[in-house]
Structure 1
Amino acid sequence: MTLLGAGARLIDAAGGRTLAGTELEEEVARLAAGLQLLPPGVLFARTSVDLDSVLRYLAAFEAGRAVALIDPALDADVLAGLIERFRPAAVLQAPDAPAPAGYDLTDGHWVRAALDGVEPHPHLAVLLPTSGSTGNPKLVRLSRSAILSNADAIAEVLEIDADEVAPTSLPLHYSYGLSVLNSHLVRGATVVVEPSGVLGRGFWDAVDEYKCTSLAGVPYHYEMLRRLKFDPEKYPSLRTLTQAGGKLRSELITEFNDKIRAVGGRMYVMYGQTEAAPRISTVPADRLAEKLGSVGPALPGGRFTIRRDDGEETTHPKIVGEVLYRGPNVMMGYAENEGELAAGDEYGGELATGDLGYLDEDGYLFITGRLKRIGKVFGNRVSLDDLEQAVRSASVGIDVVAAVAAGDKVVLFAEGADREACKAASRALSERLHLHTSGFDVRPLDTVPLLASGKIDYRTLESQV
């Protein structure tokens, strides 16, 4: 099976170029042939939202070359550390900087001079970092079959066919953005490559011009669209909304679901992790209002269980514990250095998600928090995710908030809030949890920092407390 289904099209909104059919297949094959000539090892592809990046990814996939998709804005020191640990065959679309030791600049790429190198496992197709632009990330090892099975399952539940037109509303080095690309191309649909993102004027011009049919966003995007008074009536072709990448407020799910249904459209709330290539579950659009707060049943071919505190697994309704997922899209494992790229499947299709949740009587999953997103207030364990949700629903005028642990208290950064709103939020949390207000340090912040994926950059905020 290939990622390029019959009739798949790529439209380059910036360059006005369209590739489809034989022309697209031949261009991918031409690039794939060039990648085959590179030394053994993983390829690092600095992946922007542009046609060249998409074609390089497709070429690597079709050529059977394991490729790590790298944020082009990745800190230079982090990139240098990754190169040292993984000795890639090449860094495609290299930075505008001198090549590191042992690499030559060739046609805009850094190519390793030495011909020795670890051959990645033959099933390994895609590697994605586990963290954002800082730190020392591991790489998630995803097999070709995991990528393809997830793309096909998502296409099935979202009813993607050749008539669908999806814009690139998310970075392509981010697993959700990559999943949108994969799930459309595999069904012969169209992807419009437009770099400015949901908040850019050029993006909406492209939605109009190319009659895009769907929009994918993370919670931050929907918060911003609400501020911008997004109205789907203005975009007659746009009739599908999808949301993943974190928990969206229930009131916003209801608001956007009502808006899109009013014009004959549909909204899907999904759940996933990079380690599952990446999507795991989807709420059917016709049950979204009924199952508000759920992330849905597992995708076709997948299965959820809940691990209780005693270590036993259950599917009994309402039992809260760690969410376990089994399916063909689970990663092969992690890699921290070149040698580990040759390893086989270490997970056997089983993934402990690190999320807390429960199943209802219909097998729909409800996420209640993260095992590691826990703080303490005067010795009392609190869910940082729950605190954020409590502030957003406290009617104090704060919509975007990020909570981090800080010793025996919690610091919450409130975007665009004044000090009175922050004090009101602190009082609301104190009343809700019956703990003194001094345990909740709510601070105003002009803009909550985000990763390229649109998720909150908690690491940066932790460095500020």
Structure 2
Amino acid sequence: MSPLIHPEARLVDAATGQFLTGPALRAAVDHATGAYAGAPAGLVLILLATRLDAVVGYLGALAADRPVALIDPAAPHVADLVNRFSPAAVIGSPAGSPPAGYRPADLGPLGPAWLRSEKRIDGPPPPPPHPDLALLLATSGSTGNPRLVRLSRAAVLANAHAIAATLGIAGGDVAATSLPLHYTYGLSVLHSHLVSGATVVVTDGTVMQREFWRDVAHYGVTSLAAVPYQYEMLARLHFNPADHPRLRTLTQAGGRLRPELIADFHRRMVAAAGRLIVMYGQTEATARMTVLPSAALPEKLGSVGLAVPGGSVSVAGDGEVIYRGPNVMMGYADTARDLVRGDDLGGILPTGDLGRLDEDGYLYIDGRKRRIAKIFGVRVNLDDVERMLTGHGALPAVGGDDRVRLWVEGADEPTRDALRAEAARRLGTHSSGIEVRTVDRLPLLANGKVDYRALEGVA
């Protein structure tokens, strides 16, 4: 059994009510582990749907010491990933005919798969991946042909334990899969609960669906993870934690949540004897790097907290946040040749985020180094623009043609004019440098974040 799975850990299939606990979970994972013997040696690419059998198949790959690339099952670029990384197997009912050099197969508990032929028509098989490599994840927000993050077994395990310790996860805790499992934040919920002997309810529902909350109540979910856009939706739905007496922990990561919403949900949870915990992380650090405990609110409102156990944060001279810890990635991978490499970073991660530390060591994120646009030749930090207008709800800002373009859901012309005027005033520029566009629904990535690339691509 993988060291990631505590002997008392439990998985529950919300769709069927099936429980896998203790020996039953161990037997299911062992069965999946054995099925990988039917595939050639090397990388396994898993189209990871939020289903119990898919989760068991993933855990089986880890137990078999197979490096695994987890991919969104709806991703349009699977063929490109296969071409670039030459996986030994593609698991998860891949659609269509297999590409050249692959054949269809049925791997029993793993289901339909593509297996790499021993004799490739386009050359020899790739060299074996580095023995420390365990997991590859697409960088957060990746679209098109994503770059993959190389994570070691030690990093995955270290971060799971660090999160479990920081949040105080114990055997009686129950989490629901409120986020996709191919997304680092969603996957870390699974890892940190399994390593603690807790329960994970596997459901593909969303916080916008009545069925999801039915499962929360039925299975006694105690903690829920969500990204900023989901909190915006919960606020619109007038979420009341008192309606869910077992739900005592909300966690937030995956981007910046408006401070007024942090304060709002903190008050709601405290009133129900619960807690809101704000976190900061990156795929490049396996998952989460810092945690702001509920007790630090509202005093440290706006902070993302202190480093997780085993990690540390500092701020370089140019303002970039530097993270150090055992959960830092080995490096990036663009092709199969990169999988052979060892650790490129030595546990040190320049995050690309700008930030500062207060006198107590609490970290505050001020923006991205590269989230920059120009208005009439003047550089503007797009994260600053969004913060300036935070009172208007989710209002993504992108650059374009010497101006800043703001996107807002369902706004009429007077509202757009008012937003344009306020943005221009706050930025000290002419209103012709600001464009406000309306959309029925903001485009979202599978992880619930705003799809900035989709907004940038609109003419």
AA aligned to 2:20 is L
TM-score (norm 2): 0.96
Structure 1, residues 101-146: CA drift from partner, whole Å, max 9, x if none?
A: 1111112111111263321111111100125563221110000110
Counterpart code for 1:420: P
- Counterpart residue number, 1:104: 103
Quote how far apart the aligned CAs of 1:361 are.
0.7
1:185 maps to which residue?
194
The one of 89, 107, 118 equivalent to 1:114 is: 118
Task: Report the equivalent of 1:44.
Answer: 45
Q: 1:409 aligns with which of 379, 403, 406?
A: 403
CA distance in 2, matches of 1:332, 1:288: 34
Other-structure match for 1:12: 13
* 1:212 corresponding residue in structure 2: 221
For 1:81, the equivalent position in structure 2 comes to 80
Asked if 1 retains the 8 angstrom alpha-carbon contact of 2:45 and 2:87, the reply is yes
Q: In structure 1, what is the equivalent of residue 143 of structure 2?
A: 134
What displacement does 1:280 show? 0.2
1:156-195 alpha-carbon deviations (Å, 9 max, x no partner):
1100000100000000000000000000000000000010
What is the DSSP-based 3-state SS (H/G/I as helix, E as strand, rest coil) of the residue aligned with 2:389? helix
By how many angstroms is 1:98 displaced? 1.1
> Is 1:429–2:419 an aligned residue pair?
no
Q: Structure 2 vs 1, CA of residues 294 and 132 (structure 1 numbering), >3 Å: closer, same or farther?
A: closer
Secondary structure class of the residue paired with 1:195: coil
Query: Which has the larger displacement, 255-264 or 300-309?
Result: 300-309
Kindly provide the amino acid, as one letter, of the partner of residue 68 in structure 1. Answer: A
CA contact under 8 A between 1:128 and 1:139: conserved in structure 2?
Answer: yes
Structure 1 residue 352, shift from structure 2 partner: 0.3
2:449 to 440, 443, 455: 455
Tell me if the contact between 1:375 and 1:410 (Cα under 8 Å) persists in the aligned partners.
yes
Moved over 6 A (4+): none
2:69 is aligned with 1:68: yes
2:300 match:
291
The amino acid across from 2:82 in the alignment is: I
- Number of the residue aligned with 1:315: none
State the AA in 1 paired with 2:417.
K
CA distance in 1, matches of 2:141, 2:434: 27
Question: How far apart are the structure 2 equivalents of 1:268 and 1:300?
Answer: 16
Q: How does 1:17-416 map to 2 (within 5 A)?
A: 17-75=18-76, 78-107=77-106, 108-114=112-118, 116-130=125-139, 132=141, 134-309=143-318, 321-393=319-391, 398-416=392-410
Per the TM alignment, residue 374 of structure 1 is displaced from its structure 2 partner at its CA by 1.0
Q: Distance in 2 between matches of 1:272 and 1:141?
A: 16
State the one-letter code of the partner of 1:183. Answer: S
Residue type of the alignment partner of 1:47: L
1:390, CA displacement in angstroms?
A: 2.0
State the one-letter code of the partner of 1:391: L
CA distance in 1, matches of 2:44, 2:219: 33
Distance in 1 (CA, whole Å) between partners of 2:324 and 2:390 is: 33
Query: For residues 373 and 433 of structure 1, what CA distance do their matches in structure 2 show?
Result: 16
Identity of aligned residues (%): 53
CA RMSD of aligned residues (A): 1.1
Mapped partners of 1:96, 1:45: distance in 2? 13
CA-to-aligned-CA distance 1:380-416 (integer Å, 9 cap, x gap): 21111121222232xxxx4222111102101111112
Distance of 1:132 and 1:447 partners within structure 2? 18
> Structure 1: which amino acid aligns with 2:113?
H
- 2:122 is matched with none
Structure 1 residue 52: Cα displacement: 1.3
Distance in 1 of aligned mates of 2:447 and 2:64: 27
* Equivalent residue letter for 2:434: F
Unaligned runs of 5+ in 2: 107-111, 120-124
Mapped contact 2:126–2:337 kept (Cα < 8 A): no
1:440 aligned to which of 434, 443, 454: 434
Q: Secondary structure at the match of 1:161?
A: coil
Distance 2:395 2:52 in 1: 35
Amino acid of the residue matched to residue 291 of structure 1? Answer: K
Verify the 8 A CA contact 1:221 1:454 in the aligned structure 2.
Answer: yes
